[in-house]
Chains A and B, each alone.
Chain A
Amino acid sequence: MKEVNNLEYLPGVERLKKLSQVSTKKDLRQLSHALFPGTHCPLFGVALTASLIDDLVVLIIGTDECAYYTKRFTMNREAAGEGRDNVYSFVMAEHDIVFGAGEKVREAILHLDRVYGPQAILIVTTCVPEITGEDFASIAISLKDSVKASLAVVRTEHFRCNNHLPGIERTLAALASIMLPQTVQANSVNILGHRHHGIERTELFAVLSARGLRINLSLPSKCSVELIRQAPQAALNIVTDFTALPLAKEMQERFGMEYVYFEKYASLERIATAYRELGQRLNLDLAEFILTSRERAEAAINGYQEVLDGKSFIYGNSPLLAFEGAAFFTSLGMKPLIISARDVYEHDDVYMAEILRHGVDPWVSMVANIAPLQKLYPVLRPGMYIGHENPYTLARLGIAHVVLDGIAFKLGFELPVAIARLAAEAVKAVAQPRPEGVRHVAL
């Protein structure tokens, strides 16, 4: 692979900052003013999350376009067996925007409650009502005694948050409002933030269930409104995605529930630390498990490392924490050229420092702007692209393509092993690619 020495002269790159210069979200620049496809909006995050919850109805308040696309998404999801189509919409006409829609929305909520009888209604405001500033939270409070369903409100003003994750975060946090005090049951835990089906297939689940622990609920991947109400009966919350941290903190404040942050880490050290904390909180002796599992994972990863060592990569849109994921690939001897990220989160400074310690200083761009990035591929000639991209584009250029969505449900040491295996297989397969279609959907 030809070494690129002068990235500063590449189109758009001059806008970007180097990793060593990045400390806040404002340091994440776009490669171009014109964006394609652009990030998803928080309303999409709500749909991703709420469509997994049984007995919940979502009421979108916004334009016909927002409602149409979201409904389309949940209908597709239900048809594919991946979620429920539980979306209703109140479409704001010009008159509603000018004169207010409060009374009509009130009627709509009463209608949903009376006709469909859901356990809970999630009222979702979008950009337009957030600009006009109608207070739907007050309407929900005023209807509390008039409806059987529990009511919660989520705001999804996209112009204040540039991606879909705040929609997930706020949906999860809003569900705290329907939880009720419970008698705590020993040996039971909640999984918070796991958005993938099949929690039973994860290493974490196997570790817990083998030691007699019961999963009270997995929010949002395996739950109902009734189970959410009873969530405080678990002895501990395990947060497997940072979007559930506000919910865990809220539950800690309201119900005194402790939580352990067990993110989808790729780093073996961080996974070991998370397991150790889990063991301490649950009075489990996990030392032997951690030791043997880590050794086994290290051995497996080392086996893949010789294929990956020295390969350069571009890190795109993936379900992992961007800098943590990029740090893992860098630790395998790979060289990051550009890292795409949607924000700079708490602890990202740690992951960034790990990358820089390898003597590399990649460019950092805002995520989900593939069009100008594609112009750089022939010049940068990365060995690998990690994230959502058009497989045909990458195959034509001989770039290995790694999409992590299929393994993002994994939790524990199994995850970095699966990542390394996937990456090694992608490198080996690059000579004979088998494209599987364009992926833009973030999970």
Chain B
Amino acid sequence: MSLYKYLPPPSDRMGVLWALASIKGACVLEYGPAGTTHYGIESYGKLNMDLDASLFTTDIDEDEVIMGDSGRLGNTLLELDRRNEFSHIFVVASSVSSIIGTDIFAICQEVQPNCRARLHCFTGGGLKGSYSLGVKEVLTTLARDVVAPVPDGARDMGYYNILGSNADCYNYASDIAEVERMMEGCFGLKRHAVFTAQSSMEAITSASRSGYNLVLRAEGLPAAKLLKERFGQEYYYGVPYGYQGTQNWLRGVANKFGLVVNAPYVEREAKRQKDHLLRWRFSRRAGAPLTAALAGNYDLVVNLARFLGQELSIKPVAAFVNHGRGSEPVLEDPAEEGLVKFALSEGEKEAQLNATRPDIVLADGLLLKMHQPGRVRLQVSHPNLSQILLTSHLPLVGFNGAGYLLEKIMNSLQ
């Protein structure tokens, strides 16, 4: 039964809007009831993001729903284009426009010859799947239709792009900053475009000038493949959670891109890692084995589970991916296949947590509200109910992220 006491899983349409809303200079036009847009705007605050895109709605009424008149969409597109402010307009269907069968793709094709701005359509309307699908569609569309060739075709090998850090990644600001610190410290590379958190149309359009692409979530893989095909940019997929996980990630980046690791940088971090883990093991020398539950986006859940299990000897007993299983995620370890569950219902999550009674819960704000027990309780993912994130110096990824998580766990266990 699709009955929810708490928040239902966000839809593909919500993923599209969240991914686009953080791009400065993007114009997003929702073709649907104005109230949905207004409601949505008020939810952005809980994502700890700014609405940097210009967001509009056409609104919709009985003329569209009953009489099938879709002239309003074309008129609105032409009006927005006349403002000469936008080079790309992203048209997002609503559930209402999808159900009544409005072909927004055909309408955009008809209007396009009279528009200076390039029109892009997202037709799912919230009926195709969960939010991760919407995020993937945005990343893919940007890579396919927005990133433009640089004038001379030359790439600057001192730069990289990040594919797949979005507003639905709870800690995106600090995590991006940590990746930047590591890429600079280890390889001397600078970040160019982020697809799509804290980003701009200008940066994304010129992403082809970068030498490399880092894919931080599976939803960015189709985009990375497209960029490789179009511009020859190599990409590396992985997320640096944990001490060893980060070392492996840096080695993977180096191998894939043919880069030389800054050995003193890594040695310095390895020394810190050794100290941290020594204190952790000392503190746990007489303690009972610990268990943990995790919840969030796929890459966070899988990689945090590995950090806890393989590096800290904390056994993951529940790992909930908050979205549906996409085509990209590939679990390599058969044990993880049994552990990681996609899009469970509220009841199924509660039942598993009540059965396993984890000591540590690293999860979204909602699961932490639903399940109060646990010696360590830390929010690492969305949905967010109340946390305000202002700074960008508290990552969950990288060496600093591993240290921060371990610190939180140790302090809570005291």
Distance in Å: Cβ of A13 to nearest Cβ of chain B: 15
Q: Which residue of B lies closest to A163 (CB)?
A: B35
Interface of A is mostly: helix
- Does A34 reach chain B (CB closer than 8 Å)? yes
Are B95 and A68 neighbours in the complex by a CB distance under 8 Å?
Answer: no
Q: Which residue of B lies closest to A34 (CB)?
A: B56
Q: Which of A76-114 contact B (CB under 8 A)?
A: 79, 88-94, 96-97, 104, 107-108, 111-112
Distance in Å: Cβ of A195 to nearest Cβ of chain B: 18
Q: Which residue of A lies closest to B35 (CB)?
A: A41
A35/B56 contact (C-beta < 8 A), A88-B5, A94-B127, A131-B96 known:
yes
A44/B39 contact (C-beta < 8 A), A131-B99, A131-B100 known:
yes
| Cα separation A128 to B126 with both chains bound (whole Å) | 11
Are A39 and B38 neighbours in the complex by a CB distance under 8 Å?
Answer: yes
| Cα separation A36 to B386 with both chains bound (whole Å) | 26
- Does B199 reach chain A (CB closer than 8 Å)? no
- Does B336 reach chain A (CB closer than 8 Å)? no
Distance in Å: Cβ of B102 to nearest Cβ of chain A: 12
- Does B282 reach chain A (CB closer than 8 Å)? no
Q: Which of B1-49 contact A (CB under 8 A)?
A: 1-11, 13-14, 29, 33-43, 46
Are B6 and A93 neighbours in the complex by a CB distance under 8 Å?
Answer: no
Distance in Å: Cβ of A276 to nearest Cβ of chain B: 39
- Does A160 reach chain B (CB closer than 8 Å)? yes
Are B1 and A107 neighbours in the complex by a CB distance under 8 Å?
Answer: yes
Contact with B along A27-47 (1 / 0, CB 8 A): 000001111111111111000
Of B58-66, B178-186, B233-241, B311-319, the segment with at least 4 beta carbons within 8 Å of chain A is B58-66
| Cα separation A64 to B343 with both chains bound (whole Å) | 14
Distance in Å: Cβ of B278 to nearest Cβ of chain A: 42
Are B35 and A158 neighbours in the complex by a CB distance under 8 Å?
Answer: yes
Are B1 and A440 neighbours in the complex by a CB distance under 8 Å?
Answer: no
A75/B96 contact (C-beta < 8 A), A34-B29, A159-B65, A441-B42 known:
no
- Chain A residues with Cβ below 8 Å from B4 are 67, 71, 88-91
| Cα separation A67 to B383 with both chains bound (whole Å) | 14
Are A64 and B35 neighbours in the complex by a CB distance under 8 Å?
Answer: no
Distance in Å: Cβ of A46 to nearest Cβ of chain B: 11
A-B contacts at CB below 8 angstroms, number:
163
- Does B123 reach chain A (CB closer than 8 Å)? no
Are B65 and A131 neighbours in the complex by a CB distance under 8 Å?
Answer: yes
| Cα separation A132 to B57 with both chains bound (whole Å) | 23
- Chain A residues with Cβ below 8 Å from B266 are none
A44/B35 contact (C-beta < 8 A), A65-B11, A440-B42 known:
yes
Q: Which residue of A lies closest to B40 (CB)?
A: A69
- Looking at the complex, which one of B39, B126, B385 makes contact with A64 (CB distance below 8 Å)? B126
Are B3 and A89 neighbours in the complex by a CB distance under 8 Å?
Answer: yes
Are A88 and B3 neighbours in the complex by a CB distance under 8 Å?
Answer: yes
- Does A63 reach chain B (CB closer than 8 Å)? yes
Q: Which of B55-77 contact A (CB under 8 A)?
A: 55-62, 64-65, 72, 75-76
| Cα separation A32 to B81 with both chains bound (whole Å) | 13
- Does A72 reach chain B (CB closer than 8 Å)? yes
Distance in Å: Cβ of A149 to nearest Cβ of chain B: 15
- Does A376 reach chain B (CB closer than 8 Å)? no
- Does A124 reach chain B (CB closer than 8 Å)? no
| Cα separation A183 to B14 with both chains bound (whole Å) | 51
Q: Which residue of B lies closest to A62 (CB)?
A: B95
- Does B79 reach chain A (CB closer than 8 Å)? yes
Are A33 and B75 neighbours in the complex by a CB distance under 8 Å?
Answer: yes
A89/B8 contact (C-beta < 8 A), A38-B38, A63-B126 known:
yes
Are B75 and A42 neighbours in the complex by a CB distance under 8 Å?
Answer: no
Are A34 and B58 neighbours in the complex by a CB distance under 8 Å?
Answer: yes
- Does B189 reach chain A (CB closer than 8 Å)? no
Q: Which residue of A lies closest to B125 (CB)?
A: A63
Are B35 and A72 neighbours in the complex by a CB distance under 8 Å?
Answer: no
Are B56 and A41 neighbours in the complex by a CB distance under 8 Å?
Answer: no
- Does B80 reach chain A (CB closer than 8 Å)? yes
Residues of A within 8 A of B (CB-CB), count: 54
| Cα separation A371 to B126 with both chains bound (whole Å) | 26
Distance in Å: Cβ of B135 to nearest Cβ of chain A: 15
Are A38 and B34 neighbours in the complex by a CB distance under 8 Å?
Answer: yes
| Cα separation A72 to B386 with both chains bound (whole Å) | 11
A65/B95 contact (C-beta < 8 A), A33-B72, A42-B35, A159-B65 known:
yes
Q: Which residue of A lies closest to B6 (CB)?
A: A71
| Cα separation A123 to B34 with both chains bound (whole Å) | 22
| Cα separation A368 to B57 with both chains bound (whole Å) | 11
Q: Which of A145-174 contact B (CB under 8 A)?
A: 158-160, 162-164
| Cα separation A368 to B5 with both chains bound (whole Å) | 31
| Cα separation A14 to B397 with both chains bound (whole Å) | 54
A39/B35 contact (C-beta < 8 A), A111-B3, A128-B95 known:
yes
- Chain A residues with Cβ below 8 Å from B8 are 64, 67-68, 71, 89, 91
| Cα separation A64 to B34 with both chains bound (whole Å) | 17
A371/B56 contact (C-beta < 8 A), A34-B80, A41-B38, A131-B96 known:
yes
- Does A127 reach chain B (CB closer than 8 Å)? yes
| Cα separation A164 to B60 with both chains bound (whole Å) | 15
- Looking at the complex, which one of A36, A43, A96 makes contact with B35 (CB distance below 8 Å)? A43
A36/B56 contact (C-beta < 8 A), A88-B5, A96-B2 known:
yes
Are B76 and A132 neighbours in the complex by a CB distance under 8 Å?
Answer: no
Distance in Å: Cβ of B50 to nearest Cβ of chain A: 12
Are B36 and A64 neighbours in the complex by a CB distance under 8 Å?
Answer: no
Are A127 and B43 neighbours in the complex by a CB distance under 8 Å?
Answer: no
- Does A73 reach chain B (CB closer than 8 Å)? yes
Distance in Å: Cβ of B77 to nearest Cβ of chain A: 9
| Cα separation A128 to B54 with both chains bound (whole Å) | 27
| Cα separation A127 to B39 with both chains bound (whole Å) | 14
- Chain A residues with Cβ below 8 Å from B9 are 64
Are B96 and A127 neighbours in the complex by a CB distance under 8 Å?
Answer: yes
Are B34 and A32 neighbours in the complex by a CB distance under 8 Å?
Answer: no
- Looking at the complex, which one of B57, B61, B79 makes contact with A36 (CB distance below 8 Å)? B57
- Does A139 reach chain B (CB closer than 8 Å)? no
| Cα separation A67 to B5 with both chains bound (whole Å) | 10
- Does A66 reach chain B (CB closer than 8 Å)? yes
- Chain A residues with Cβ below 8 Å from B13 are 65
Are A108 and B99 neighbours in the complex by a CB distance under 8 Å?
Answer: no
Q: Which residue of B lies closest to A36 (CB)?
A: B56
| Cα separation A171 to B306 with both chains bound (whole Å) | 50
Residue of A34, A63, A131 ringed by the most chain B CB atoms within 10 A: A34
- Chain A residues with Cβ below 8 Å from B42 are 69, 72-73, 440-441
- Looking at the complex, which one of A37, A73, A158, A440 makes contact with B33 (CB distance below 8 Å)? A158
- Chain B residues with Cβ below 8 Å from A72 are 7, 42-43, 46
- Chain B residues with Cβ below 8 Å from A34 are 29, 56-58, 76, 79-80
Q: Which residue of B lies closest to A132 (CB)?
A: B99
Are A104 and B2 neighbours in the complex by a CB distance under 8 Å?
Answer: yes
Binding site for A on B (CB under 8 A): 1-11, 13-14, 29, 33-43, 46, 54-62, 64-65, 72, 75-76, 79-80, 95-96, 99-100, 126-127, 385-386
Instruction: Given contacts A36-B56, A44-B38, list 5 more A-B pairs with CB under 8 A.
Output: A39-B59, A65-B40, A68-B43, A104-B2, A162-B59
A-B residue pairs in contact (CB < 8 Å), sample of 13: A34-B80, A35-B58, A37-B37, A41-B36, A43-B35, A79-B385, A79-B386, A88-B4, A97-B127, A104-B2, A132-B99, A440-B42, A441-B42
